[in-house]
Structure 1
Amino acid sequence: MSIRIASIQLNSQTDIEQNLTIIEKAINHAANEGARLVVLPENACLMGRQSELAARFDEVAQRLGKMAKSAKVHLMAGTLPCPTRPDGTPVPNERSRQTSLVFDDTGEQIARYDKIHLFRATVNDSTGNYDESKTFEAGDTLVVAPLHIDGQVVRLGLMICFDVRFATLAQRLRQMGADIISVPAAFTHRTGQAHWQMLLQARALDSQCMVIGSTQGGTHHIGSRTRQTWGHAMIVNATGEIVASTERTECSQMGFEMVMADFDTKAQKQIRENMPIFECFRI
């Protein structure tokens, strides 16, 4: 039996309430189309001004859990800036953790992953230099979350954006039992155009997992600045084949784009048996 997965593309701005309204519409739309797992992009609830959202972390997390419960879906809720570490201690120096939360279809939080690889690059765009370490503290723990969906257990390996550039992370998630890997992202337009599709396909081939790329897309107005993200939400199967893609940067007037694909446990198992790369692994 297959499981329907929805990957959501957003154009989040600096109004948290408006972003949450669009997110709820997207989740409900996905549920109405039969999705059992919905994956949101990085910075789903807010682009820029992360301290504002961090101050509301608990409240917003609870609201996202209620959305999952209401729609009766499992929800990988993109990312939220969390002011505390998993052990409850505050993140020092006025920074936070870039955190992915997973909720089951009762609204219970069942997993948390803190982004390990923080984006640092010089990009030929209006921002120029990016360094997430100024805002965030890196996590240090890999996470694979078991999802109990329609009598099946499907294991979701968690990545965030820049993590997708590190093949070893995808391989370790597979070794930990991952069937699917989620990649909520906010790729710059330049780096996304150059690398987004190739990276998702490469990580799918590295891990022999289905990879769910959920993205920000379009122009984001952050005070007097603007930022361009690449969009192109995409789902890639374990052979590296693109099985769904928005094929565009901008979002529709609804405020979101959505692509869907069916995950078939037996079909993916056959792919792995036909080419047992992890049994051949020697390094």
Structure 2
Amino acid sequence: MIRNPLLHKEFRQRMRTNRAPVVIVGYLASMSALTFFLLYENVQGQLLQFQPARSEQVFFVLSLMQMAVVAFLTPAFAAGSISGERERRTLAVLLTTPISPLGILVGKVLSSSALLILLLVVTLPLYSLVFLFGGAVPQEVVAVIAFQLFTIVIIAAISVLWSSIALRSGWSTVLAYATVGWMVFVTGFVGYGLNFIAQHSPVAYFAGRWAERVLSLNPLWIEAVLEKAVRADPHDWVWFAVFYSAVCLVLLGPAVWRLRPQALYWLPWLVRAEEKHYQ
């Protein structure tokens, strides 16, 4: 995939626009202001009174805020990747290249994720403040950053697949943000609802088990688990990765068919389908 010409083209187009440096500078300035505000509020200007526990709170709030921001920014960069090509009448030209449908999808996913990954990289110096005051161990920071990178790629992949399945950017954007809304809001509401039922009903043991399972699909909950801010199975991230990877695999078939029906030649009823959706 490194030699994917689509990936090189997308990198050049996205990084040479005026939007890229503006987004990076604006995001870094906002996160820096938030970090120093939290540090000042925790110590009230008394740096000699700063405690590691307070630094840990800053790290927790900063990481959750960053996860929420990148989760809702990713569809904005990825949801119109394929549908935008269709609307600009350039998809047919792209399909005449030797790049396979899978190569096209992977190139779009990586190029859509690049700017978001760069946003995480530029905020790494802010996390060094946590080490300065002893609020977290390196393993926690590495685990949080790695999980954020994985979540960006997963959301970008789902958004690109929706962009290939839907015929218009409007629909793909709605579907992508609906997916993020499910990941952040629906799983959190249902999970905490089941947890509330389990705590107030001794016969509803199954509700507690399902509450943990549903919450493990929430990226903010996994962040809290990795930072040991909540009591849960430290391996909940495995269920998160398996579930959303399975979602990507389920959407991959329809996405490839939308791009090139001949790729599924072993399904005769799909091959005979009309190919009017190339454009």
Instruction: Tell me the TM-score normalized by structure 2.
Output: 0.26
- Bigger Rg, structure 1 or 2: 2
Instruction: Tell me the TM-score normalized by structure 1.
Output: 0.26
Q: Which has the higher helix share?
A: 2
Q: Which has the higher strand share?
A: 1
* Higher relative contact order (Cα pairs below 8 Å, separated by 6+ residues): 2
